[in-house]
Chain A
């Protein structure tokens, strides 16, 4: 079986050739016949009643086919939202944030729609804008949503729908032990408050979709990560059975969580429904910022320790600015609550989290998913405690890390990772990579740990088919968005069936053609979709055995499975293609194997796995300018088993690089009622010249996951502790503790020069 055992080796990406030749198709590249083009008219007020929309001039413009407003959606369910259906497809009575869709112009060309959008006149009556969580939580603050909304029936996840008695969209609490008592008797109590910035994921392909509504069916091409969730939302909007809706996702130009759930699909779909023509809608980057950004957070923590560095209690409060609509923020705050206190043994814990509606762009998932926001405070707090206690910060962590098999969250899966060993890998790698110039003045080291309850709901299904020529088709509802799932799932099928990788074709994410997958998120694909593919191969092999026994007229027990096929009683090998041909009596037909993962057996305990984040950084601070240079970055991917090590290292380096962006450069800034930097010029993401001098991406493979071959998920863990690690490193380089990210030169300069009013 060795030649076909392609798991564990860095085989090349099977989509690489199409991506280097320009042949790879993304949704934005698609066109369908007679297609119209949409352009969104957006609110230029943050909070205002809509008193009138005058579309006459725009409607009369050359090349305009229709203008759609909320009033035109008669007979449709006019909102979406997979947790709380609070999100109007087009603003109904009021606009709740600057940039909210108010009307949709549909034209013969993108240019015609663009020009006519300028001609739509919207009258507003301003309401008080609530931009910050503090403003939104004032006792006399107006309600951004005056009513409650339907909780989405299809959502069986971990979050509850919000109550609309205040602007708190969702509250979450986690508590055990006697926190106040323990803090009162602790030897040392350390308090930390941090701000985590408002971020924009900047997936380089902007949100876009094509919708084709005809009769009682709807076909949608989209840049969505979770086509099945989008299908449910569209089914509710149009009152159609899910089977009549096809959501198909080609390659995605970056997702990182920002393309989770439903975004522009309802807009394109209602335009197609209204005009009875296919409609393509492509947002630009500014509009993409208005569509989804990540939750910013204010986090307070107080931790008590014994003098020898044992945690006795931790007390957290988290307020997230979640924007005008809930989207996935209720789940983001739940996860932030679960993840903020770190992978430590905390005998007494209290976490209160709130996701708050404000008049800003809706916030939702972004890589790390609630973890980076809380981790910054939690880990900075550990470093401050280490200083107060006079204990080495790595040693302090080691004294408190949960051990393999120990419970981190009561009733949840016990820790399936060796955290102390991972931390040791980081610390020794930082030592090895130290620069020749030495550390000295202006140099600081920081590291951080995190554990995320990852994997989401373990519901995954897969089809594996062997055709008469022996080639293999794998069908999965899991989306390829760059993370490399197409390659990894093919590696699993090739290994399990003992066939050449070149003969395996993977078809992904088409709700009419591929079987159900809950989501492509929470780092789940290798662990859960991988397992359903593996089980589909098992099913297929069992069927091949039975079919061969029937053809050879022998007992199935006399048939053994060999690489690429089966072996009969006389040792005669029949390759799978031959089994198909013999069984069907012609070179025709196929064997279909199905595999499922559901919340039962080894998948009964949640989370499906703990995703570990373990990173270290060394920074150099320029005392003149406050500029921070990252000298070293170390990541450890604790993945159980690396099916494709090069792809995993790529995930970790990419994740950590995005997090360095948040730590040093990136922040979406609201000045007044609108963001002042909704573009890639002023929202600065890391470039090649920002790369650390040394990047070390380590993998820990202890076969301790429940995924195929002992695998666990990766790809997000390396985001989570980077912010805290950089902040601690800067603290050690400057002698002052930062309390917010990003650590721009201006902020670091002010820190160095002791200005309490740092922005």
Chain B
């Protein structure tokens, strides 16, 4: 394989049909950041242990730093930029603001996407379930407590709004 090998990728990104031709070696994170300008998705460990690059592919959380861009061909991708709808924040985003669940903010997009995946799966998680589900995401600033509180609060708010 040479670096020049390319592939045309057609996918749905944050609800929009997109098409781009990219090097087959490109990761999904690189594709989102460099081809689509969606820099909200961050990269850090590049070994699938920190979780900052988490995006949802067909609703499932993946580490976009090691997920090949060509593998989203024909799939549906949701990134942090697609979490708020029409300027209205998702309840998880609101709860993160209210609980000071971020400081530097670099890990925040990954946590929010992972939290969304959790709440899509389990609408009323226990504290233990939140901790278990989010233990693959690293935050170096907060000490995690406010993140756990924010996710539980988001679940409560989403239930109330249902």
Chain A residues with CB under 8 Å of chain B are 10, 12-13, 15-26, 28-29, 62-63, 111-112, 115, 201-206, 251-256, 284-285, 481-484, 646-647, 650-651, 653-654, 656-658, 679-681, 685-689, 691, 695
Contact = CB atoms under 8 A, between A and B. Distances in A.
B80 A22 contact: yes
Contact of B100 (A13, A111, A481): A13
Contacts of B40: 21-23
B49 interface: yes
A118 to B, nearest CB: 12
A253 B145 contact: no
Contact of A20 (B46, B104, B108): B108
Given A17-B97, A680-B47, A254 B39 contact: no
Contacts of B45: 285, 679-681
Interface string B28-57: 000001000011111111110110100000
A24 B33 CA distance: 14
A252 B112 CA distance: 19
B27 to A, nearest CB: 11
Given A204-B138, A251-B105, A689 B83 contact: no
Given A111-B25, A204-B140, A654-B141, A482 B100 contact: no
B102 A22 contact: no
B147 A688 contact: yes
Closest 5 CB pairs of A and B: A22-B40, A482-B104, A253-B106, A19-B105, A482-B103
Interface in B82-100: 83-84, 89, 93, 96-98, 100
B148 interface: yes
Nearest to A254: B104
A115 B3 CA distance: 9
B39 A204 contact: no
Contact of A285 (B42, B46, B137, B141): B46
B140 A689 contact: no
B106 A26 contact: yes
A658 B143 CA distance: 8
Contact of A654 (B52, B83, B84, B103): B103
B143 A653 contact: yes
B79 interface: yes
B132 interface: yes
Contacts of B80: 20-22
A9 B120 CA distance: 34
Given A16-B102, A255-B104, A653-B143, 19 more contacts: A16-B100, A19-B108, A20-B112, A22-B41, A22-B83, A24-B105, A111-B25, A203-B104, A204-B52, A205-B42, A205-B106, A206-B44, A646-B100, A679-B47, A680-B49, A681-B45, A686-B144, A688-B137, A695-B143
24 contacts: A12-B98, A15-B105, A16-B102, A19-B108, A20-B97, A20-B112, A22-B41, A24-B105, A115-B3, A203-B104, A204-B42, A204-B44, A204-B104, A204-B138, A253-B105, A285-B45, A481-B104, A484-B103, A650-B143, A653-B145, A680-B44, A681-B49, A688-B147, A695-B143
B109 interface: yes
A21 B105 contact: no
Given A22-B39, A204-B44, A679-B45, A251 B104 contact: yes
Contacts of A19: 102, 105, 108
B36 to A, nearest CB: 12
Given A16-B96, A21-B83, A112 B3 contact: yes
B81 interface: yes
Contacts of B50: 204, 680
Contacts of B132: 689
B93 A20 contact: yes
A690 to B, nearest CB: 8
A657 B103 CA distance: 14
Contact of A482 (B4, B98, B105, B135): B105
Interface in B109-162: 109, 112, 131-132, 134-138, 140-148
A656 B143 contact: yes
Contacts of A26: 42, 106
Nearest to B4: A62
Contacts of A112: 3
Interface residues of B, number: 54
B86 to A, nearest CB: 12
A488 B105 CA distance: 17
A176 to B, nearest CB: 38
A254 B81 contact: no
B23 interface: yes
Contacts of A484: 103
A52 B40 CA distance: 42
Contacts of A483: 103
Nearest to B83: A21
A300 B46 CA distance: 39
A252 B142 contact: no
A665 to B, nearest CB: 12
A754 B148 CA distance: 39
B107 interface: yes
A562 B28 CA distance: 55
Most B CB atoms within 10 A — which of A29, A285, A687, A695? A687
A653 B93 contact: no
B79 A22 contact: yes
Contacts of A29: 33, 39
A19 B112 CA distance: 11
B145 A691 contact: yes
Nearest to A651: B103
| Most chain B CB within a 10 A radius of its CB, from A24, A251, A651, A656 | A24
B84 A21 contact: yes
B3 A21 contact: no
A477 B13 CA distance: 38
Nearest to A656: B143
B84 to A, nearest CB: 6
Contacts of B107: 204
Contacts of A20: 80, 89, 93, 96-97, 102, 105, 108, 112
A93 to B, nearest CB: 33
Contacts of B148: 688, 691
- Among B3, B4, B98, the one with the most A-chain Cβ atoms within 10 Å of its Cβ is B3
A654 B100 CA distance: 12
Contacts of A25: 39
Contacts of A680: 44-45, 47, 49-50, 138
A21 B33 CA distance: 15
Nearest to B106: A253
A680 B93 CA distance: 27
A36 B103 CA distance: 31
Contacts of A691: 131, 143-145, 148
A653 B135 CA distance: 17
Contact of B142 (A23, A255, A650): A650
A10 B146 CA distance: 14
Contacts of A111: 3, 23, 25
Interface centre among B104, B106, B112, B148 (most CB of A within 10 A): B104
A251 to B, nearest CB: 7
Contact of A687 (B23, B39, B79, B135): B135
Contacts of B89: 17, 20-21
A658 B42 CA distance: 21
A688 B144 contact: yes
A80 B68 CA distance: 39
A13 B134 CA distance: 23
A284 B102 contact: no
Contacts of A13: 97, 100, 102
A47 to B, nearest CB: 29
A554 to B, nearest CB: 46
Contacts of A687: 135-136, 138, 144
Contacts of B43: 28
Nearest to A63: B3
Nearest to B94: A20
A688 B50 CA distance: 12
A556 B89 CA distance: 48
Contacts of A256: 140
